[in-house]
Structure formats: structure tokens, C-alpha cells
Structure 1
């Protein structure tokens, strides 16, 4: 219930706080001379196949994915599209939303952000993680209910 009742400002503030904390800690450790990608180095050294180790396995990438998901969920739940799509709750709309969401999630999973620049990778990971809940919570249900609603009106 708390997730649905939280304001968009709360979602934004929590995301901003976590981002500020993570970037601040990142910069502090960098100034102190701590190797920020030490987990990658150790994993590549000890892994059976070093090619399996990727930048997206770092703790910072995981934190950014979680922050993106939180921010996207906040945007999705407070979108006018979500408010409009809540009105239609028929079984056919729900099934179509499930199929469309799974298809879109499969597409998003196939998109891999470039790893040649860590900052770009982290930014794109955040955006990708924010887009997934935004699409599945508000955009897809709105489009599906609109499409199925217009089809049922044509049949009348």
C-alpha cells in the first residue's frame, strides 16, 4: 500500500538521495585512492572464464539499476496514462498487457549498454531500469486498453 500512496516527490527525493549518497561515496573513495573496480579485477582473476565478468556485475551498477527501477515505478504510478488505464480491468486487457509486457521485457533484456565508458554505461543502465517499470505500469496498459477499447466500440 505504501508504494501506491507515496507521492512522486517522495520517489524523486529517495532516488536523488540514493544517487547523491552513491556518487558522494564513489568520489570519496576515488579521492582516497581506493580502486573502485576492485570487484571486477578480483572476479576476472578468479573466474573460470574472465569473459563472463562484466561491468554490470559491480555493486554501483546494481545500485543504479535499483534506483532506476524505483524512479520508473514512481513515474509510472503517477502518470496520467496509469490513471486512465486503471479504469479498464477486464481479463482480455490484462492478458494482452501480460503478453505485451513480456515481449517488451525480452526486448529490453537484449539491449546491452556499451561498456567502453563507465559513466555512459551507468547512465544508460539507470535509464533502462527506469523505462521497464514505466512501460509495464503505465504505457503498455494504456495502449492496450485503448486498442482493445476502440475494437470493442467498433463491434457495437
Structure 2
């Protein structure tokens, strides 16, 4: 494995040296493919435009893929390039390659599989599938509709590849990690896409969210029980990141799971409290666009809310509530706009 990673380091180094003038674009692509955007952008857009069922499918696939990613990361204990190149005995007696680091490089969890690749490909798969369903049902010319679906799948492939390349470029992941993450994400999405998520009530959301949380703590305990250090990757991040302030607590696996559980449970709660129409409605583009803009704006405002980092447990709890507010605002605002639209059909 060391020799494979050594070859991948050479590829990574060549990538950085070949595209030094495209750093801003590559970093923007990496940030756009961040798992949190599944909740801040994809979920609100899908819920308002494609219908509640598609929106909840995206939420489910985002949560399950990120949970599975966390489980696999601790099991596989994959290295990240930016610390491996400084720690590996492969380079003993010779000059170690130089890898440029960026503000988004110093993630703290194990590296395999890539969370960006896994969550993004899974979420975008469901998003594009829902988009194509809408295109096929609303575009009258079947030839044009089929051509449009081919274009969307092509854009999906290009976007997924660009996100993967950006993660390699920033020295956050090895190529094999983003490939594994992408394949797993697509397979997972194709399975979850078949589930009738609209049939599950708050109890199912709560129990499944509890399972996600408890299973992570159990895995953490078992890793400790066999004599391994679950925090080994965090320590390496602190040790090998060029600037300590680039190491952020919101890149830890526990924060990702707390965010997921918060968004998931609160979504189940608000959907159970309100009468939600899960089927996609044809037309009504003004209403859909209004709801989409409002929900995205609310999500982005909530995302800017400061969460104190002094107490770790409180940081995770507040992070869960913060993500939960995104779910609540998305469902509630969409319901308000839909209700207003029905009462004022001429607007």
C-alpha cells in the first residue's frame, strides 16, 4: 500500500505543479462539493422544486452516506496525503516531496473513503434522478426531454470528477480514496432511491437517528478497547498542518454525525407535525422559485450562526440543533409559500 500511495503522491505533486494558476477555481469546486451543502442547497432545492419526497430522499441519502463514511473511515484508518508524506518511512534517506496545503486541506478524520466524493456523488445522483423525472414529465417533446436528461447525467459525471480532482489537488485525499468514495456513493444512492421515505413517521426518524449516533459511539469505544487511538488522525492533523488554525472541529467525524442526526430527526418531526404533500406538482414555477430562494436564504443565514467551541459536547449539541433548524425552516417555509399560493392563485 505504501508504494501505491507513493505513486499517488507523485501524481498529486504533478497536479499541483501543472495547475498553479487555477487554485481559486479548484478550491471553490471543493467547497461546493462539501457534504454540508447537501443540507444547505440540495435538500431545499429538491424539496421545493421536485417535491417533498425527492427532498427527503436527498436528506436520507446525505445522512446515511455520511454515517457510512464515518464508519468506514474508522475501520479502514486511511491516511491523508498532507500528513502521510511527512510520516511515512517510505521516504527515509531521501528528500520528501513537497505538497502545498490550503485552508481546506487539514481535515481531521481518517482519509478513506473520501467523504466529499461519497456524499456528493450520492446526493447529486438522487438530485439528477429527480430532475430528470421532472424533465420527462413536463417537457412535451420526448426527443428534447431525452436529450436534456443525457446532458444532466453528463454534467453529473463532470461535476463528480471535478470534486474528486479538487480533493486530490488540495492534498486532502489520495486518488484511490476518492474513487472508492464515489463508487460507494453511487451504489448507496441507487438503493436508497427505491425506498418510500415518505411513509416513515417521526418514530422511524428518531430511532434511526439514535442508531446512527449510538453506533458511532460504540465503534469509538471498540476501537479504544482493542488498544487503538480513535483520535490518531486528529493528532496527526494538528502535528502536520502547516497552520494550526486551519484545523477545525467541524471537520471531525463526531460533528458530521451530530449535524446529520439533527437535520434528520428535526425533518421527521416537522413533517409529522405538518400536512405535507409529498408528490411533485406540475408547473407553479413562480411558487417553487420563491420557496426555493427563501429556504436557501434561511439555510445560509442559519449556517452563519456562531457555535461556541469552548465546550466540545456543547459544540456538537448546538451543531445538531443548527442543522435541525435548516430542516425545520425548509419544510415550514415551503408549506407557507405553498399555502399562500393556493389562497392567491392569481398571483
The TM-score normalised by the length of structure 2 is: 0.38
Alignment pair present for 1:141 and 2:141: no
- SS of structure 2 residue aligned to 1:116: coil
Alpha carbons 2:303, 2:322 under 8 Å: kept: no
**Match of 2:73?**
none
Alignment pair present for 1:2 and 2:196: yes
Distance 1:74 1:58 in 2: 25
Alpha carbons 1:72, 1:134 under 8 Å: kept: yes
Deviation at 1:57, TM superposition (A): 0.8
Distance 1:33 1:123 in 2: 28
- SS of structure 2 residue aligned to 1:82: coil
**Match of 1:65?**
259
Q: Deviations over 1:77-118 (max 9, x none)?
A: 32315359x889722221111110111121022113111101
Alignment pair present for 1:104 and 2:298: yes
Higher Cα Rg: structure 1 or 2? Answer: 2
Deviation at 1:38, TM superposition (A): 3.6
Distance 2:228 2:313 in 1: 18
Deviation at 1:141, TM superposition (A): 1.0
**Match of 1:13?**
207
Q: Deviations over 1:110-136 (max 9, x none)?
A: 113111101001101111122212221
Describe the shift of the 1:75–1:89 C-alpha distance in structure 2 as closer, same or farther (beyond 3 A): farther
**Match of 2:80?**
none
The TM-score normalised by the length of structure 1 is: 0.77
Distance 2:199 2:316 in 1: 29
Distance 2:306 2:233 in 1: 20
Report which of the two has the higher share of helix.
1
Superposed CA RMSD in Å reads 3.1
The aligned runs of 1:42-81 (5 Å cut-off) are 42-81=236-275
- SS of structure 1 residue aligned to 2:276: helix
Describe the shift of the 1:20–1:3 C-alpha distance in structure 2 as closer, same or farther (beyond 3 A): same
Deviation at 1:70, TM superposition (A): 2.0
Distance 2:257 2:212 in 1: 8
Q: Which runs of no fewer than 5 residues in structure 1 stay unpaired?
A: none
Describe the shift of the 1:66–1:30 C-alpha distance in structure 2 as closer, same or farther (beyond 3 A): same
Q: Which runs of no fewer than 5 residues in structure 2 stay unpaired?
A: 1-194
Alignment pair present for 1:93 and 2:287: yes
